[in-house]
Structure 1
Amino acid sequence: MINHLRTLVEATGPSGSEEDVVQLVVNAVRPHADTLDVDAFGNVVVVRRAAHDDARRCIISAHMDEVGFRVYKIGADGFLRLEKLGGFDDRILLAQRVWIRTDSGERLLGIIGSKSAHLLGDNDRSSIVPYAHLYVDIGARSREEVISMGVAIGDPVGFVGSLTELGHQTGRYTAHALDDRAGCAVLLTLLERYEDTPPPVTLILVFSVQEEIGLRGVQALARHLQSDVALALDMTAADDTPEFSSPHLQLGAGPTIKIMDSSTQAHPAIRRGLLAAAEKRGVPVQREVLKGIGTDAGALQYLGQGVPTGAVSVVNRYTHSPVEVLDSRDLVGAVSLLEGFLQDLGNLELGFTSLDEKPSA
């Protein structure tokens, strides 16, 4: 799983420009898929069939795109201006290394410039530079030189980085784009578990695009995919660092089971099924209530006439930054949780409530 993640985070794939990630995913899933499709949006849809045609169907979606930018303007002075893709904290953007990916597929190194410390005034030290005022230095002296390098308006821009372990044998790793390449690595590992034996239900794995700019990839799929159950697999924000006095979600305490976020109220049957699968197998989990986040589950819940939907997340520090951090134990726990849920899904009661029971007073 870590090897999958290491490979995936090396690619530059902001929303709408996920081509390199798509190719990596397709190469990884092809040996294990019964069917494989890349749709017009760029979503990769992989089906691994159960042994029986009447088995239930479960969709699990993880997104391939990362937050990033596009080249908005090429100045006469050779500096690039950027437009955002996804949500950023502008405070973290100064002095970051970025890749600019040209139409030829070549990546050029650039730096988001900042004033030298010796030239800062009092106002500079106490203010945040809005992203619209930022510029990227690729070493060019003029617009013509930029164009000669193959850079064009609209080219995708993403953070530079590679997967690196923090400290020594901590099992905690940092990289950009862990959100949600880590979810993709979990799905690849889950699929490999069924290399020799069919899954207990028909498994539809979606590696989606454009999640960071409004769940757009999965919205397109929701119009025609059919399933009995849908899950999103994504990252969620840890609040276990010194800034917070009472953490809700902690690194290394297990994957989270979504209760609610801004896009989804998890279906009670899915919550119950995930919690039961975790308890049965001794997988530590955390309950997630986080209003300031959304996942592909927000679109998947509208499959057909509506489908029981939930989400599993991996806790992530410093989200939407070049230095996101996760704990590999949470990745392992996510695989175990999903595998257990799929094993139990055939017998899981999927009704919103039982009509045989009297409502509580």
Structure 2
Amino acid sequence: MRTKEQNIELIKRLSNANGVSGFEDEVAQIGRKESESFCEVKEDSLRNLYMTLKDNTGKKPKIWLDAHSDELGFIVQAIKPNGTMTFLPLGGWSPNNVPSSKVRVQNAKGEYLSGVVAAKPVHFMSQAEKNASLNIENMVIDLGAVSAEDLKENFQIRMAAPIVPDVECTYDEQRDLFIGKAFDCRIGCAAVLESLNQLKDEALDVDVVATLSVQEEVGERGVHAAVQNIDADIAIIFEGCPADDTFYEPYMIQTAMKKGPMLRHFDRSMITNPRFMRYTLDMCEEKQIPVQESVRSGGGTNAKYIHTSRYGVPTIVVGVPVRYIHSHHGICAYEDYLNSVKLAVELVKQLNADVIKQF
């Protein structure tokens, strides 16, 4: 088990890593470094990272732990004559969250250069433009170049360069809070890695395989490939889930910060196996693990493809509450992360072939 300081440092590194959809290499490198001493580790061409506990026998039911490694970001679409760039979103951005933010753009050397998302200054807007809705098509990214030639030659920026929010993760120990980018789903990646770390020395009745899967934010593409490579019998999906405690009426709050992980009964991608869900909720009550339940009208996770693979794979989503996901800055609590790990570890320790057959 990692110390608190080691866990905090891991979460910070994962949050700070550059890894928009399709460009998750840095996250895979962190996952490999953290797990290769006790896991067999491999990658596919998409950069899905597969981690299999070395003590697996291959003769037991297989449980799959997953979290997606990509974050919301952008991609360079074109370079304008004045040296600014048009861009397209990678993932579900609201235009309201985009302008006036710092970003990092990868150049041809692999370096990430700081810039800003810009729109026409108010001084130059017509009244119609002032009243118009925000639109990403009317925004540009500016690194400070003075021409297209300057951007290409001196900054070495190319078409299709990945763009990430320029945010550094911080932890407030007194208040137990992280503020940073990409907690959807780097906080889940940290939970996968710590769960593996705690399970490595346990005598289990299941084999354990885990993934840091790519391109979830653009349609669960990575896990769609991974299901072809993992013959799982049951699965736990970690997510950084949108906290609702600052927007909804009290009776509708289902994912509050500092009240434990959220278990989702329903979203537009999955109706959770009710028997597996009930078993997990009863276990949390017995083990005194704080947990929340939700029924969502929207949303979707990697569980979409996992739970319909093979003959049907009982799957639950363990959501770490994060305020303001799908923006440059999120807020989450260390205690929710720890309880998410505890839930997964205790659940894996209880599972065996007979229990899984009940689902």
In 1, Cα distance between equivalents of 2:107 and 2:31: 21
Write the deviation string for residues 42-69 of structure 1: whole angstroms up to 9, x where unpaired. 1000001556553221001100000111
Partner of 2:282: 276
Partner of 2:325: 319
2:244 aligned residue (216, 239, 256): 239
Comparing 85-94 with 111-120, greater Cα deviation is found at 111-120
> How many angstroms does 1:21 deviate by?
1.4
Partner of 1:67: 72
1:2 aligned residue (5, 8, 12): 8
Residues 3-22 of structure 1 aligned to structure 2 (within 5 Å):
3-22=9-28
Identity of aligned residues (%): 27
In 1, Cα distance between equivalents of 2:57 and 2:143: 56
> How many angstroms does 1:273 deviate by?
2.5
1:46 aligned residue (42, 48, 51): 51
Task: Give the superposed CA RMSD.
Answer: 1.9
SS in 2 for 1:60: strand
For the 8 Å contact 1:97–1:159, the answer to whether it is kept is yes
In 1, Cα distance between equivalents of 2:116 and 2:354: 52
1:160 corresponds to 2:166:
yes
> How many angstroms does 1:347 deviate by?
6.0
In 2, Cα distance between equivalents of 1:98 and 1:331: 27
Partner of 1:356: none
Comparing 38-47 with 219-228, greater Cα deviation is found at 219-228
For the 8 Å contact 2:267–2:298, the answer to whether it is kept is yes
In 1, Cα distance between equivalents of 2:132 and 2:358: 50
Q: Which runs of 5+ in 2 are unaligned?
A: 1-6
In 2, Cα distance between equivalents of 1:214 and 1:170: 35
2:230 maps to amino acid = L
Residues 119-130 of structure 1 aligned to structure 2 (within 5 Å):
123=128, 126-130=131-135
SS in 2 for 1:349: helix
Residues 1-361 of structure 1 aligned to structure 2 (within 5 Å):
1-33=7-39, 35-50=40-55, 53-116=58-121, 123=128, 126-148=131-153, 149-165=155-171, 169-241=174-246, 243-246=247-250, 247-346=253-352, 349-351=355-357
For the 8 Å contact 1:224–1:304, the answer to whether it is kept is no
SS in 1 for 2:199: coil
> How many angstroms does 1:239 deviate by?
1.3
Residues 1:280 and 1:152: Cα distance change in structure 2 (over 3 Å)? same
Could you list the structure 1 runs, at least 4 aligned residues long, displaced by more than 6 angstroms after superposition.
none
SS in 1 for 2:277: helix
In 1, Cα distance between equivalents of 2:178 and 2:42: 31
In 1, Cα distance between equivalents of 2:161 and 2:134: 23
- Give the number of aligned pairs: 350
In 2, Cα distance between equivalents of 1:292 and 1:249: 14
In 1, Cα distance between equivalents of 2:137 and 2:120: 15
In 1, Cα distance between equivalents of 2:196 and 2:357: 27
Write the deviation string for residues 15-74 of structure 1: whole angstroms up to 9, x where unpaired. 0011111112111111121x1110121100000155655322100110000011100010
In 2, Cα distance between equivalents of 1:316 and 1:127: 31
For the 8 Å contact 2:20–2:73, the answer to whether it is kept is yes
In 1, Cα distance between equivalents of 2:97 and 2:127: 19
> How many angstroms does 1:201 deviate by?
2.0
For the 8 Å contact 2:236–2:344, the answer to whether it is kept is no
Partner of 1:357: none
SS in 2 for 1:325: strand
> How many angstroms does 1:124 deviate by?
5.1
For the 8 Å contact 2:199–2:345, the answer to whether it is kept is no
